Structure 1
């Protein structure tokens, strides 16, 4: 039988098919994690994402398509129990064939203890404590007792703040763990993963330098955030978060907390109060009423960004640019 041009063309395509055709099925929980995984897998394959669009891991409900992706996965990356609580039971139910990587356990991470939200004490800017057993006592940052309905959402003493990715050096530690897990699951593409890690680390170092330069002119101006998700960014770049409106973003704050934050804004001269795209924006207007503070928006979980290898860099650059823009223009 003679080969037709079409068959010859098909054979050529099959022979030249990229290695990613045999890549493992990889699932990432949230956009920042997905971005780091996608960077390591670039040219090899594409990971699936669970929390898509503008959804938040704090309030997410699993979909049937998410369950199917997890069942088919060879490797699953997530931050850990303290962030994506909706994944606890589904990951426990996974078959033994899937490797589950909890990135909050990656070697080399700097971990900070959770603060309790609300109006931080004036000494709260120096909260560089690590969650490791270093003998440091946990500082209490909430100025007043939270309402009774908020009590169950308070974080246990010593619990780690899981917004780990908001420090590029933590992103480097997470990326190293991602590369290691992928190389073990897919040895045939280990060299590609390693090369991608080198490139990613170079980009993260450049990002770190850029962010420091961006926020340095405004880092002494205090500001208030919707929920206390920015401790790692604050600690890395020495910006001044004066307080947060709520402890947990899924729990609306009571009148006492809003009054407390408004008083703290006036006391400290906080110049900006930042909302988040996924949550109630009108609370920001309530808090700044009667104060000179300006409203702004920060997006720590990349709700408004398209998933992909560049998302992490866009996310971090947007936070730096939003801080500089609002704080520089505020009186």
Structure 2
């Protein structure tokens, strides 16, 4: 072997060894739902890929882990999830399968804007929103604020929906807060790649800002929007973009609404001349048909968890655009 060839071989071995060392130091990360997975994937871009535990198509409120998903938790150095308000079953699995992992509940993260669940089948705040389409609301509860308890006498058969609404990923300002938190936590676990994590988070924030601008433009072009949603998952999105649903067919995606609730929502649709009633791709479409029967409302589909979107770093800004386009598209 010539000196040149030997030198090339040695250089290749050194490069491979260095690359392997960097890869070995990157934490193994598990996440709960696709929007959180996307934010973590954006921060880890170029270094590694997180594992998704709650697959699209399943309800995060009530989900059974597959063996591969349980293994993802077992090998995780860090777990990022919304928290028990969204996935009451997951905390026990994390404690059992990932007892040594860093665990971050994003809903409790400093700087996260949180909102309380809305009461009843129809929403009282619908008639006095404080922002035009495309604007944001400046006031919201922080994670350390006290939350009032609410009684839901008309829906005894549904899960407890008092306190904080966990669908906080649909406020893109929360997505930006979480990007920075994820970067800081991973930088602490993996200091050698800290600059990459934080640079990726900064780029991700810019991408979310662009998605927010597109969402505002889409909603503004649609004009006044009267709509009802399948379940009350969009409060954060509405609050951020200055729109408001007239009501929700169900408070939860984990149980069916009572006949009385359906009747109340149908009356609301008729009385307000609601243009759109949104179903979700994985749930009972017949309920939407029942609510729109005898009215001029159209049925359309909207998805708070991005069932049809491609997983990965681009998923989160695509989700923000998708929700806005779905709402605006039905109204136009």
What is the TM-score with the length of structure 2 in the denominator? 0.88
Which whole-Å deviations, capped at 9, do the CAs of 1:236-256 have from their partners, x for residues lacking one?
111120000001111111211
What pairs up with 1:1-331 in 2 under 5 angstroms? 11=13, 14-15=16-17, 17=19, 19-121=22-124, 123=126, 126=129, 130=141, 145-150=153-158, 153-156=159-162, 159-218=163-222, 220-328=224-332
**8 Å contact from structure 2 (residues 225, 275) kept in 1:** yes
Give the drift of 1:45. Answer: 0.7
Alpha-carbon distance, 1:87 to partner: 0.6
The offset of 1:22, in angstroms, is: 3.2
Specify the SS of the correspondent of 2:177.
Answer: helix
Secondary structure at the counterpart of residue 274 of structure 1: strand
Q: Any conservation in 1 of the 2:37–2:52 contact (CA below 8 Å)?
A: yes
Q: Distance in 2 between matches of 1:42 and 1:132?
A: 28
Mark the CA change 1:16 to 1:154 in structure 2 (over 3 Å): closer, same or farther.
closer
- What residue ranges of structure 1 are gaps of 5+ in the alignment? none
Say if 1:317 and 1:192 are closer, same or farther in 2 by CA, change over 3 A: same
Q: For residue 281 of structure 1, report the CA deviation from its aligned partner.
A: 1.4
User: What's the CA shift string for 1:74-126, capped at 9, x where partnerless?
Assistant: 00000011002221211222454210011112221111111135122365654
Q: Secondary structure at the match of 1:240?
A: coil
User: Equivalents in 1 of 2:125, 2:52: separation in Å?
Assistant: 40
Unaligned runs of 5+ in 2: 131-138
Cα RMSD after superposing both structures: 2.6
The 1-side partners of 2:156 and 2:72 are apart by 39
- 1:156-211: per-residue Cα shift (whole Å, max 9, x none)? 2xx11111111111111111111111101111110100111111111112222221
Q: CA offset at residue 139 of structure 1?
A: 7.6
Q: TM-score, normalised by structure 1?
A: 0.88
Q: What secondary structure is seen at the aligned counterpart in 2 of 1:33?
A: helix
The C-alpha deviation readout for 1:51-95, integer Å capped at 9, x for no partner, is: 123222123111222221111100000001100222121122245
Q: Is the 8 A contact 2:302 2:326 kept in 1?
A: yes
Equivalent pairs, count: 321
- In 1, Cα distance between equivalents of 2:146 and 2:305: 31
Equivalent residues of 1:230, 1:300 under 8 A apart:
yes
More deviation, 94-103/179-188: 94-103
